[in-house]
Structure 1
Amino acid sequence: MNRAVAVTGIGLITPAGIGVEENWERICEGRGLAAKDPELVGAAADISCRVPTFDAAEVVGAREVWRTDRFVQLALVAAKEAVADAGLDPGRWDGSRVGIVVGSAAGGVSTLETQHERFLSQGSKGVSALFHPMALVNMVSGRMAIEYGATGPNLVTATACASGATAIGVARDLLLSGACDVVLAGGTEAAVTPTFVTGFARMGALYSGTLPPEQASRPFDANRSGFVIGEGAGILVLERVSDAHARGAHVWARLLGYGATCDAHHATSPHPTGQGIEDAMRLACRDAGVPPQDVQHVNAHGTSTRLNDATEASAIALLGSQRVAVTSTKGVTGHTLGAAGAVEAAYTALSLARQTIPPTANLDQLDSEVRLDIVSESPRAVALDHALSNSSGFGGHNVSLLFGA
């Protein structure tokens, strides 16, 4: 327990809404939010899960919008909510003791595409001088540091769709090492662009069926055929438990353990045995000193792809817990890529705080190979002490975060 850190603040901006309460309400409704995307006309796939309309200029300032990519803007919105939720005043903290770790798989891909189009149509003079300060993936943590006067360790993690979860694990290590007293950690992604989406479609990774868009993302369902791309950001404020208690902070949940592995198998496909996923979960449990059979809930990576869901389900079954209830919130939000691990870590912390597991949307017929208790149709009220949040990514990355109430 002396290795636990406290989640004292949560900020969310996702297809399920802006802010924690709106997110929780829509996740618990269990309705898919995918829709036809007019910005993807001409791409190889034309549905997505986008963040509801929000005025970025109002939240982060018109000047900041002008010089930042959307993936940074989303992170700034989530961070603002998280810091306020934690009850911290950046004007009064010691910035040298504040770290920032943010995960992203793609960085400023929207800026990259826009500037490439301008180069082709206008030549070199059409390319903005702000191209690199907007597009480079590390700019999200740099911009957050400027916003909050955080001069401590400042990192971006890039482990594909596990990036946000990796960031949270690294942040915990910074706190335990004594390098920081507070860390803002999470993930962000805004890669719903024609070229980026087409790349996934060409791989055969995106939904390819004929159901209405809102039914396209269907984790663990027998008729799933691929994921729906989404965007969003999730930021957690993490502190040592003793420090949180000393200042009387509200604690959503405690991060007890962190496990990370690599399949070392294939660039895009999970290892067929799910060994890397299982090992990540066991490492997180061992790190926390919690027997795997004591895990009562898993917020699965659950992408709605044929291979991922079957492989992850097999790995979870091998944990040996007879009472583990599993959900995938991607049925609602779609797959937010590098933000997913952080967004779903936040949902896992909320499940513990509210003793409720959100349902898996669009689960009409459970895949016969999935021998798990998948929560569906409606939220499930249940006594929860320990819950895992799983994430995986291209390159074979696997991350599991164990949270406790």
Structure 2
Amino acid sequence: MELKRVVVTGLGALTPIGNTVPEYWNSLANGVSGAAPITRFDASKFKTRFACEVKDFNAEDFMDRKEARKLDPFVHYALASTDEAVKDAELDFEKLDTNRIGVIWGSGIGGLKTFLDEVTNFSNGDGSPRFNPFFIPKMILDIAPGHISMRYGLHGPNFSTVSACASSTNALIDSLNYIRCGYADMIISGGSEAIINEAGIGGFNAMHALSTRNDDPATASRPFDKDRDGFVAGEGSGTIILESLEHAKARGAKIYAELVGGGMSADAHHITASHPEGLGARLAMVNAMRDAHISTDNIDYINVHGTSTPVGDISETKAIMDLFGQHAFELNISSTKSMTGHLLGAAGAAESIACILAIKNSVVPPTINHFTDDPALDPKLNFTFNTAQKRDIQYAQSNTFGFGGHNASVVFKKYEE
């Protein structure tokens, strides 16, 4: 069976540094931090009192008030970014075969705010089970692609992928394979997350996973810096319209880039810590490049997982050094989490959009907040510290790794006939 080529024809982004794709890219290229004191709740008693929140967002700009009340914020975000992507791709579903258009969506946690509110209300009551009838439908992770499909009348494959911080990258890989194997013409893919609440921040604080740099939130996310002390929680959504090249050309679509490969692996090591030598990360990258039929020398830019944790940044760098050899010093490497914080299950989608736009604009977004070199890292590696760099990019790779040892990597290519 001849596999179909899969291209990107629409983008949508709702992030802590921009509520649209142009705003997001402008902030990425200019090194803008999205971290600030938490406004979602009173965090004064928490070890971490800041996060990368989505700002100036009103769900009622995308749906009526009655519908908005029935949905968790992670679904609000999904519908908002998808609205932008559908318009960007100029999709007219009345002229398309909606039986062959699907939605595959990633989220690491889903409706955490809904779960927190309902359980809190129950525990504060008299023990009577007075739960909102929308409790379960608001909370479950697969409800996001469900609502997207209902909004646009799409009858193709519809499900969620859950692999912690690798969730939306896994959604992209599944979408790639469904299209290139001929099971769908188009997939709306991506991910969303909304965990900036008492349970989310408190839970990650209990794990000692978050930065506690409360005196300087804007510089708290410091991937590859000697003084990094944990990741910064983020929220938001990213949507990528994927379709077969044949389908895209038939409808005269603009094409951003081509998705040419996806690779996965498991660390099989620890519930939260990555393998110290980066073995799982290395295997995921190998599998992605093998799937794309390219070698390490073809990669120009890697948008790394780079969460700003002491152990994780080292292990991913070891994986890159071991896999790419001398070519590692020719790469541009950057962690856009230095600006957005960690969007967890939505990270893969948001960072894939960064890769796609880096290819389109020939600009590598920076890793901001670098102050002190880490002696454990080779100084000859180009982490694109603090300032964006111009570069012609033929191939860009995006890595995401999740709790449980889930690793996923995708490769995008500059589109050519």
TM-score range, shorter chain: over 0.9
Change (3 A) 1:26 1:256: same
The residue aligned with 2:410 is 401
Do the aligned residues in 2 keep the contact of 1:189 with 1:233 (CA within 8 Å)?
A: yes
Mapping 1:172-321, distance limit 5 Å: 172-209=176-213, 211-318=215-322, 319-320=324-325, 321=327
Deviations 1:86-125 (A, max 9, x none): 1111233222111100000111000000111111223435
Letter in 1 for 2:334: T
Distance 1:391 1:185 in 2: 16
Do the aligned residues in 1 keep the contact of 2:47 with 2:212 (CA within 8 Å)?
A: no
Larger displacement relative to structure 2 (126-135 or 159-168)? 126-135
Give the deviation of 1:159 after TM superposition: 0.3
Give the deviation of 1:211 after TM superposition: 4.5
Distance 2:287 2:88 in 1: 30
The residue aligned with 2:99 is 96
Mapping 1:304-383, distance limit 5 Å: 304-318=308-322, 319-320=324-325, 321=327, 322-371=329-378, 372-383=381-392
Gaps of 5+ in 1: none
Do the aligned residues in 1 keep the contact of 2:48 with 2:214 (CA within 8 Å)?
A: no
Distance 1:152 1:166 in 2: 18
Letter in 2 for 1:384: I
Q: Which consecutive segments of 4 or more residues in structure 1 shift more than 4 A?
A: none
Do the aligned residues in 1 keep the contact of 2:4 with 2:182 (CA within 8 Å)?
A: no
Give the deviation of 1:40 after TM superposition: 4.4
Do the aligned residues in 2 keep the contact of 1:3 with 1:288 (CA within 8 Å)?
A: no
Letter in 2 for 1:81: E
The residue aligned with 1:11 is 12
Distance 1:134 1:124 in 2: 21
Deviations 1:250-295 (A, max 9, x none): 1111101100000111100001110111111111111111111210
Gaps of 5+ in 2: none
Distance 2:26 2:189 in 1: 23
Deviations 1:117-160 (A, max 9, x none): 11122343542111011011111111111011111110100000
Change (3 A) 1:17 1:210: closer
Larger displacement relative to structure 2 (144-153 or 60-69)? 60-69
Do the aligned residues in 2 keep the contact of 1:101 with 1:167 (CA within 8 Å)?
A: yes
Do the aligned residues in 2 keep the contact of 1:31 with 1:362 (CA within 8 Å)?
A: no
Deviations 1:354-384 (A, max 9, x none): 1100111101223222222100222111011
2:78 aligned to which of 70, 75, 84: 75
Do the aligned residues in 2 keep the contact of 1:8 with 1:252 (CA within 8 Å)?
A: yes
Distance 2:308 2:67 in 1: 36
Do the aligned residues in 1 keep the contact of 2:17 with 2:33 (CA within 8 Å)?
A: no
Aligned positions, number:
405
The secondary structure found in structure 2 opposite 1:111 is helix
Distance 1:309 1:377 in 2: 17
The secondary structure found in structure 2 opposite 1:160 is coil
What's the RMSD between the two structures over aligned residues? Answer: 1.4
Do the aligned residues in 1 keep the contact of 2:213 with 2:220 (CA within 8 Å)?
A: yes
**TM-score, normalising length: structure 1:** 0.97
The residue aligned with 2:110 is 107
The secondary structure found in structure 1 opposite 2:105 is strand
Do the aligned residues in 1 keep the contact of 2:11 with 2:21 (CA within 8 Å)?
A: yes
Do the aligned residues in 1 keep the contact of 2:172 with 2:189 (CA within 8 Å)?
A: yes
Change (3 A) 1:30 1:133: same
The residue aligned with 1:145 is 149
Distance 2:247 2:190 in 1: 20
1:44 aligned to which of 38, 42, 47: 47
**TM-score, normalising length: structure 2:** 0.94
Letter in 2 for 1:114: D
Do the aligned residues in 2 keep the contact of 1:217 with 1:224 (CA within 8 Å)?
A: yes
Matched, 1:20 2:21: yes
Distance 1:247 1:139 in 2: 29
Give the deviation of 1:398 after TM superposition: 0.6
